[in-house]
Amino acid sequence: MQSLQKITPCLWFDHQAEEAARFYTGIFKNSRITNIARYGEAGKDVHGMSAGTVMTVAFELNGQPFTALNGGPIFKFNEAVSLQVYCDNQDEVDHYWDRLSAGGDETAQRCGWLKDRYGLSWQVIPKALPELLSGPDAEQSRKVMEAMLRMKKIDIDELRRAKAG
């Protein structure tokens, strides 16, 4: 049996845990579903799920373990928790943004944040962003922040132009 990480995010879905895990593992390299557990008859009076229904899906995204749980419609995702994807370049930003946002909530997209088709919030961030936003010149940082606030998907070249003035 595979050893468990001490901390693994568990994502609560109504009934789309397996579908979501397959969606996410199809986007990230080095990703896979590692286990699917199903509800049995035990506890049916509590969980209300039919025997054989997917209960949990263990999966990895680029080596990071996750669990997806089919827990019913009681809880929903919100922006209080998001998953950050750090990107080396604009091609990676475009790749993750385009795939994760497909079918998602376009009104929730701003400054690199998006909501996917399941309502989960993601931040697709270029690794260069902290450097572009900081530094000894407060005016440059302000210009970068103002440029970013006008964006949905982050455009690294546009941020660099803003910093250069």
Whether 4 is in a domain gets the answer no
Q: Which domain holds residue 120?
A: 82-164
CB within 8 Å of 65: residues ≥ 6 apart: 4, 5, 8, 34, 58, 59
**160 is a domain residue:** yes
Cα dihedral 133/139/145/150 (nearest 10): -150
**Residue 8 one-letter amino acid:** T
Band of pLDDT at residue 5, cut at 50, 70 and 90? low
- pLDDT on residue 3: 61
pTM of the predicted structure, to 2 decimals = 0.91
Confidence grade of residue 4 (pLDDT, cut at 50, 70, 90)? low
Q: Does residue 1 form part of some domain? A: no
Q: What is the pLDDT of residues 73-95, one digit of tens each?
A: 999 999 999 999 999 999 999 99
Instruction: Kindly indicate the confidence band of residue 49, based on its pLDDT and cuts at 50, 70 and 90.
Output: confident
Residues 51 and 108 in one domain: no
- What pLDDT, in 10s, does the model give residues 124-158? 999 999 999 998 889 999 999 999 999 999 999 99
Residue 2 is assigned to a structural domain of this protein:
no
Residues 6+ apart with CB under 8 A from 6: none
Please tell me the predicted confidence (pLDDT) of residue 79: 92
Whether 90 and 158 share a structural domain: yes
Q: Please state the domain count of the chain.
A: 2
Query: Alpha-carbon distance 5 to 93, whole Å?
Result: 28
Q: What CATH number should be reported for the domain holding residue 152? A: 3.10.180.10
Q: How far is CA 32 from the centre of its chain?
A: 16
